[in-house]
């Protein structure tokens, strides 16, 4: 084992940018299709994997929404969540804050309750079995209307004590954060936190809106912020955490080569960078794969990697006592 691989493995980490539906591995997709009598346009696991070639975000999203069709019953969502937690437990991940896409399910006739109850039961059992603490974030699909988002927020009310906040994902271009300013304000009034994808494909102006209009507690991706010097300085000054997803950026052609990934530049500019997997089943790597591939491509030092792990702890909403313990563990590794 190279020293970087061993070091990444030894680091306690949190994952803060993960779409649970994007952790659906082809094997589980096939098994759930069979269990639920859902017809897939693929005959084998190999055929599914071969379909995972994307030129942009939309090409991925089309296949991602299709993959969700196998998730029908509460236990499907439970199995999906447990499979993800089992996998990142192997990566020494200690805490997760995961997204789910309620509208991806309610749109096809699966109730909000079916999806969230299965996921929450998985998170609870995952903590018992693997010691992974967690929070759940419900994301609005930005290609759908403001009205649809408001309806989803209304549906979510019985679960608000178990939901950390709202997020914003799906097709970024043409769907600026301003479209959801009022929904996010309503969510904030209900005590929910705010997260949003910004600057993955969209321009710096969209990131600006995430800050000014949505008042995000954390920014998902944020790559294109670097095109605007004043915006970059503002993100650094306010220490707004960025949940960067290197292998996702590579698969969705946000970067042409991992060696050209801006993560190191972000660190050097004082941005609060974290490393995450986004949709690991579709993008070819879980949490540690992202740390290791990025370290190798950008020649990151152990200090850089430890900084990203520290940031993942302090940018999370895990309780302060647990944060302190995990930070001390990281300090011990560097000493």
Q: What token pair was written down for 82?
A: 């447990």
Q: Is 27 among the catalytic positions? A: no
3-state helix, strand, coil in the chain (%, to 5): 60, 15, 30
Binding footprint of ligand HPA on the chain (CB under 6 A): 19, 22, 57, 64, 169-170, 197, 200, 248, 278-279
Residues 222 and 212: their CA atoms lie apart, in Å, by 15
Residue 15 interface partner, choices Zn ion, ligand HPA, none, CB cut-off 5-8 Å depending on type? none
Of 12 and 280, CB closest to ligand HPA: 280
Candidate list 25, 97, 200, 209, residue with the active-site label: 200
Of 209 and 279, CB closest to ligand HPA: 279
The distance of closest approach from Cβ of residue 19 to ligand HPA in the complex, given in angstroms and rounded to an integer, is 4
The distance of closest approach from Cβ of residue 168 to ligand HPA in the complex, given in angstroms and rounded to an integer, is 9
The distance of closest approach from Cβ of residue 73 to ligand HPA in the complex, given in angstroms and rounded to an integer, is 22
Binding mask 238-277 for Zn ion (x = CB under 5 A): ----------------------------------------
Of 135 and 197, CB closest to ligand HPA: 197
Is residue 201 part of the contact set for Zn ion (CB under 5 A)? no
Placement of tokens 């079995």 in the chain: 129
**Using an 8 Å Cβ cutoff, are 221 and 202 in contact?**
no
Of 21 and 91, CB closest to ligand HPA: 21
Is residue 76 part of the contact set for Zn ion (CB under 5 A)? no
Give one DSSP letter per residue of 276-290, joined into a string. --BSHHHHT--HHHH
Residues 6+ away with beta carbon under 8 Å from 297: 246, 257, 258, 259, 261
Give one DSSP letter per residue of 190-225, joined into a string. TT-EEEEEESSSS-HHHHHHHHHTS--SEEEE-GGG
Residues annotated as part of the active site: 200
């Amino acid at each position: 084992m190279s020293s970087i691989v061993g070091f990444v493995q030894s680091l306690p980490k949190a994952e803060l940018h993960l779409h649970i539906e994007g952790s659906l591995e082809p094997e589980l997709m096939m098994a759930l299709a069979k269990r639920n009598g859902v017809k897939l346009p693929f005959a084998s696991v190999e055929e599914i994997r071969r379909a995972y070639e994307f030129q942009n975000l939309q090409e991925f999203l089309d296949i991602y929404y299709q993959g969700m069709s196998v998730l029908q019953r509460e236990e499907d969502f439970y199995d999906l969540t447990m499979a993800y937690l089992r996998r990142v437990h192997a990566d020494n991940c200690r805490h997760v804050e995961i997204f789910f896409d309620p509208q991806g399910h309610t749109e096809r006739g699966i109730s909000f309750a079916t999806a969230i109850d299965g996921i929450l039961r998985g998170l609870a059992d995952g903590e018992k079995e693997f010691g992974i603490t967690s929070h759940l974030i419900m994301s609005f699909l930005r290609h759908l209307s403001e009205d649809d988002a408001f309806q989803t927020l209304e549906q979510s009310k019985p679960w608000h004590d178990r939901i950390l906040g709202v997020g914003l994902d799906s097709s970024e271009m043409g769907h600026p954060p301003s479209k959801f300013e009022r929904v996010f304000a309503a969510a904030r009034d209900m005590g929910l936190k705010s997260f949003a994808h910004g600057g993955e494909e969209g321009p710096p102006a969209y990131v600006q809106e995430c800050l000014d209009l949505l008042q995000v507690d954390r920014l998902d991706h944020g790559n294109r912020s670097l095109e605007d010097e004043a915006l970059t300085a503002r993100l650094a000054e306010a220490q707004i955490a960025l949940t960067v997803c290197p292998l996702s950026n590579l698969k969705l052609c946000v970067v042409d080569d991992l060696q050209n990934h801006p993560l190191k530049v972000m660190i050097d500019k004082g941005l609060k960078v974290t490393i995450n997997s986004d949709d690991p089943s579709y993008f070819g790597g879980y949490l540690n794969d992202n740390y290791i591939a990025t370290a190798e491509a950008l020649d990151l030092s152990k200090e850089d990697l430890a900084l990203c792990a520290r940031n993942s702890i302090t940018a999370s909403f895990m309780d302060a006592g647990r944060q302190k313990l995990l930070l001390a563990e990281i300090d011990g590794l560097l000493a």
